[in-house]
Amino acid sequence: MMYGYAWDTTTPLTFAISILPILGIGLLVTLQAAAVGYAIALVLGLVLALLRRSRFKVVSWTVAGFTEFVRDTPLLVQLFFLYYVLPDFGIVLPAFMTGALALGLQYSAYTSEVYRGGIEAVPRGQWEAATALNMTRLQTYRDIVVPQMIPRIVPALGNYLVSMLKETPVLSVVTVLDMLGLANMIGERTFEYLVPLSMVGLIFLPMTLICSALIYAIERALPKSGIPLR
Amino acid sequence: MTWMQYLPPLLKGAQVTVMISLSSIAIGAILAFAAGIARTSSNPILSGIAFVYIVLFRGTPLLVQLFWFYYALPLIGISFDPITTGIMTLSLLTGAFGAEVVRGALLAVPHTQLEAARALNFSKSYTLWHISMPQAVIEMMPAFGNLAIQNLKDTALVSLISIADLTFQAQSMRNITLDSATVYTLTLLGYFIIALCIMLIVRFIEMKLRRGPAFPRSAHS
């Protein structure tokens, strides 16, 4: 019995069906964590990418070092770091927010590389033309650079969304009751791990497949050159 | 306790991490080539099996796979010790991602090369191993490097099935000392150093391959 839903362990099939509503609640948490984490990654990644292009060597090198460090260390240890160390500094977040923050931080290192690649792929001549036309930095980014980089970065950003979705189960380690956390709990109470864990895998599989297919469709639909903003 | 005293247990954990990472990268590479070549095969059964394997392991979270092999398999009578389970799961995952890299690189070999091989009446396996593979393998290296780093990061999850790797040792150190900041900073640095070493090794192999038994890559149009 969990969240008011009782399970029926008579056969594997009835067990699987009876725990579906419980896993559904976990799925919601999983999706929320991925959404919050992805939002953080998109914004923080952009900030990192722009700081990396700073004229001050100290700033750009620090940011480069930071992204490399975050990219090359495990999400699980970063999660533990945030979960145990932030409270020492008086920042007490609920486990869910800590988890989403860890996801966002890890993937901001990836997305910042995507943004950077996108910005650098815009030909030099475009920057020079923008300077020649006396455009401000903001105008150059808004009207020249961003519209041209969108088609390049959308597929890569989409792929990271799928990978992030697949990493959310790690949050169950810090007591977030996502799909895997609930499946483990059901396992502990019924001594039946096979069905709940298989169900989690079976729910993830179509989710990631559909997401990948969607990204592929978007990639195909995007124009190969720029996107006019207005 | 100063940070110096944290080092011995953490280093012991790091050894386990390196051992698991290297062995699963090696086994994963073999699986990647097997499944990647099978995917490009014209035999529908072979390529079908490879497809199912790749989709299954790429489409589900590693932690779910790990728990599944660790908790669920024993219930149907198949059980391994934690280390074997960890290495097996990581190898299967790395192999599935690597297979796509192998497949992509094989498909990227210019078509004219295959036509030339056919015109010269080379057998299929000769064409694969002596024409396609030497060219494809160099193109795979950067992607393999990223997968190796990903594999190293993924090894942290085996601490959750009671393997005493770097993360596991960090957890027990923190439980004893409650000095979270120092312990986890050292742990993160440990992973970072191992990652840098892996990157250097991959670069070195790539350099060797590029210089290797000459294949005039720059010559193709």
pTM (predicted TM-score): 0.89
| Residue A100 confidence (pLDDT) | 96
Instruction: Give the list of residues 6+ apart from residue B139 with CB closer than 8 angstroms, or none.
Output: B105, B108
> Residues in chain B with pLDDT < 50?
219-221
Sort out which chain B residues have CB atoms less than 8 A from A173's CB and list them.
160
Residue B27 lies in domain: 16-219
In a domain, B185, yes or no: yes
CB contact under 8 A, B196 and A77: no
The answer to whether residue B5 is domain-embedded is no
Segment 97-136 of chain A within 8 Å of chain B by CB: none
Q: What is the reported pLDDT for A4?
A: 78
The list of chain A residues with pLDDT below 50 reads 230
How far from A35 is each of A32, A48, A103, CA to CA, in Å? 5, 20, 10
* CATH number assigned to the domain comprising residue B113: 1.10.3720.10
For residue B179, give the chain A residue with the closest CA. A85
Tell me whether residue B174 is in a domain.
Answer: yes
Structure confidence at residue B221 (pLDDT): 41
In a domain, B117, yes or no: yes
| Residues of chain A positioned with their CB less than 8 A from the CB of B67 | 180, 184, 193, 197
Q: What total number of domains does chain B contain? A: 1
Question: Is the CB of residue A194 less than 8 Å away from at least one CB of chain B?
Answer: yes
Best residue in A77, A86, A205 to probe B by mutation, most B CBs within 10 Å? A77
A208 touches chain B (CB under 8 A): yes
User: What local confidence, expressed as pLDDT, does residue A173 receive?
Assistant: 93
Q: What pLDDT is stored for residue B25 in this prediction?
A: 96
Is B8 contained in some domain?
A: no
Task: Give chain B's mean pLDDT.
Answer: 90
Quote the pLDDT of residue B220. Answer: 47
For A10, phi then psi, to 5°, come to -60, -50
Which listed CATH number (1.10.3720.10, 3.40.309.10, 3.30.70.250, 1.10.150.20) goes with A29-191+207-221? 1.10.3720.10
Is residue B1 included in any domain, yes or no? no
Q: Provide the mean pLDDT of chain A.
A: 90
- pLDDT score, position B212: 64
B164 touches A64 (CB < 8 A) = no
Instruction: List, in order, residues 6 or more apart from B104 with CB less than 8 Å away.
Output: B143
